[in-house]
Amino acid sequence: MDSSASNVIPLGEKRVIDGRLRVYYYGYWIKAYAVPAETLQTKKLLIEALTRRLFNHTEYGLNIPGVRLDEARSAYASEPDPAKRRVKGAMLAGALFNRATAIFTKLVEVQGLGVEIQPDNQLMRECGRCLQESLALGKMVMHRSGEEGIDELWGEPFKAFSFPIGDFFESRYIKIAQTMRDIDKICATMASMIGELSPFADVVPLVSELGACAKTKTETLATDADTFDVWAEFVVSIERIQAFRPKRPENARPELLHEIERGRQMIRRGSALISDITRARVPMPKSTQEYIEQCRAYRDGGRHFEALIQGAA
């Protein structure tokens, strides 16, 4: 992060840094990639990849085939229970996405036969309508963790369909910068509000390592040559912090051991949240703020915590 320069470097500025082209957004120099040609084939591949990623990070049971769209719509419309209606609305959104992807795939196949597809083609309009309706329903969709909605991720295939590809890439860089910001917030919270307590001092370098690996993973595509190293380093950093064991004073009272265990669980929860954010590559502001508040509440009991440690010494 380059916060000192955030007010003077234009957003979207590109520079070669350490031999790699990077683009600047909101304090972060992010890996930049060449924008592919503006064709239906390119958009098809992009939408398919985004849709796979979408279903990989959202709650289970939403990958409804497009051929069942009418069934999904009927089930949603006839459901009186609000909780079940939310789930069925999310399933309808999945069916709409798959219908749109199927239409787009066929349009690309027809174009491959030499038939020119105009933007106002009836099937193109139907594809856009399905994506737009699905986007509206996306607010009902939860992240696989169940902690919060993830409609920002749900909206990406629609952006890939409706925006020029160059504009879509720009929107992705902005989301990556926002994702990196949340990663930094969570890491700073773990280090300052938990790591400052004596049993957890050794976790601070592990938190720093996790933050660096997570941000590198966020900006790296799976097709990059270094993806094997990047993914392995990220996974190992998660494993190291999940395996962390705080120091436990001898003759510690049960109350102290309980508080230390609470802190360890807070660290594990924070690293799991970072993992979710990093893999989805979109910010999760609700979960991030809730975690910060939980850590603050834990830290506010730190005086009592340290008193218990002194009593065990």
Distance CA 51, CA 250 (A): 53
Model pLDDT, residue 151 = 67
136 within a domain of the structure (yes/no): yes
Q: Is 114 left (phi over 0), alpha (psi -120 to 50) or beta?
A: left
Phi, psi of 119 (to 5 degrees): -60, -25
Model pLDDT, residue 308 = 64
The pTM assigned to this predicted structure is: 0.82
Last residue of a domain, one of 162, 197, 222: 162
Please tell me whether residues 27 and 44 are part of one structural domain: no
Rounded to 10°, the helix 254-280/302-312 angle is 130
273 within a domain of the structure (yes/no): yes
Last residue of a domain, one of 106, 130, 162: 162
168 within a domain of the structure (yes/no): no
Please tell me whether residues 178 and 308 are part of one structural domain: yes
Q: Is 219 left (phi over 0), alpha (psi -120 to 50) or beta?
A: alpha
Please tell me whether residues 266 and 283 are part of one structural domain: yes
The domain in which residue 296 lies consists of: 174-312
Distance CA 23, CA 30 (A): 5
143 within a domain of the structure (yes/no): yes
Please tell me whether residues 28 and 125 are part of one structural domain: no
Model pLDDT, residue 235 = 97
Please tell me whether residues 131 and 70 are part of one structural domain: yes
Please tell me whether residues 289 and 187 are part of one structural domain: yes
Q: How many domains are there within the chain? A: 3
Please tell me whether residues 201 and 268 are part of one structural domain: yes
Model pLDDT, residue 252 = 73
Please tell me whether residues 152 and 218 are part of one structural domain: no
Distance CA 140, CA 207 (A): 33
Contact 91, 64 (CB under 8 A): yes
Please tell me whether residues 62 and 28 are part of one structural domain: no
Model pLDDT, residue 95 = 94
167 within a domain of the structure (yes/no): no
Structural tokens at position 128? 């856009």
Nearest Cα to Cα of residue 51 among 180, 160, 176 = 160
Please tell me whether residues 55 and 90 are part of one structural domain: yes
Last residue of a domain, one of 116, 137, 162: 162
Contact 200, 248 (CB under 8 A): no
pLDDT digit of tens for each residue in the chain (313 aa)? 655 454 689 999 999 999 999 999 999 999 999 998 888 888 888 888 888 888 888 888 999 999 999 999 999 999 999 999 999 999 999 999 899 888 888 888 888 888 888 878 888 899 889 988 988 888 888 877 766 667 667 778 878 888 899 999 999 999 999 999 999 999 999 999 888 888 898 999 999 999 999 999 999 998 899 999 999 999 999 999 999 999 887 777 888 888 889 999 999 999 999 999 999 898 988 899 999 999 988 887 766 666 666 665 5
Please tell me whether residues 246 and 201 are part of one structural domain: yes
The position carrying tokens 């006839």 is 78
Model pLDDT, residue 240 = 96
Any residues with CB less than 8 A from the CB of 229 and at least 6 apart, and which? none
181 within a domain of the structure (yes/no): yes
142 within a domain of the structure (yes/no): yes
* C-alpha distance across the termini of the chain, in Å: 41
Structural tokens at position 174? 């902005």
158 within a domain of the structure (yes/no): yes
Nearest Cα to Cα of residue 140 among 97, 69, 84, 67 = 84
Please tell me whether residues 147 and 189 are part of one structural domain: no
Torsion angle of alpha carbons 123, 127, 128, 129, nearest 10°?
90
